[in-house]
Amino acid sequence: MTYQYKRILVGIDGSPQAEIALKKGIQIAINDNAELILAHVIDTRATQSVATLDGFVFEQLENEASRTLEKYKDMAKKRGLQKIKTLIEFGNPKTLLATDIPEKENIDLIMLGATGLSTFERLLIGSSSEYIMRHAAVDILIVRK
């Protein structure tokens, strides 16, 4: 007997890698009759100094995230998937995607696009996907192609 996923989280950041993860996530959700949860995390650590000057920045980031999630939700619906939820969160993407969202949403599979960082950048700041692989308590699929 093969395991069937019930709730699949796809981390959406607008990158081509995230779109590839989304397409594979849609297929798994269709095959398993699972719910697809599309989550975009607005990294408040990177925008904190700008946002203190202008609260408008967060509103713009949230609007852009909303448009991206709706586009991807429509993509999933066109493929025949009906159980789709979108989330926009503010905070640290690493911890939100690794533990907070999966616990809150009862996720059993996390799908992420492979990092777009160079080897040097990963050494300096680390990638979210590497952090999530080490800290998540559910299955993880890092999609490269």
Could you report how far apart the first and last alpha carbons of the chain are, in Å?
A: 27
Residue 44 belongs to a domain? yes
Look up the CATH number of the domain holding residue 62.
3.40.50.620
Residue 27 belongs to a domain? yes
Ranges under pLDDT 50 in the chain:
117-125
Output the pLDDT for position 118. Answer: 47
Q: At what angle do helices 56-78 and 44-53 cross, to 10 degrees?
A: 140
The type of residue at 96 is L
- The helix (run of H) or strand (run of E) holding residue 116 is none
Residue 139 belongs to a domain? yes
Output the pLDDT for position 81. Answer: 96
Output the pLDDT for position 8. Answer: 97
- For 126, residues 6+ apart whose C-beta sits below 8 A from its C-beta are none
Give tens-digit pLDDT for 33-68: 999 999 999 888 766 555 555 667 778 888 999 999
Q: Evaluate if pTM is beyond 0.85.
A: no
Between CA 45 and CA 56 the distance in angstroms is 16
Tell me the β-bridge partners of 49. Answer: none
Output the pLDDT for position 122. Answer: 46
Residue 2 belongs to a domain? no
CB-facing half-sphere around the CA of 115: CA atoms within 13 A? 17
Residue 93 belongs to a domain? yes
* Cα-trace Rg, the chain: 15
Output the pLDDT for position 78. Answer: 97
Judge contact between 20 and 143, C-beta under 8 A: yes
| Number of domains into which the chain is organized | 1
Between CA 40 and CA 63 the distance in angstroms is 11
- The range of the structural domain enclosing residue 103 comes to 7-143
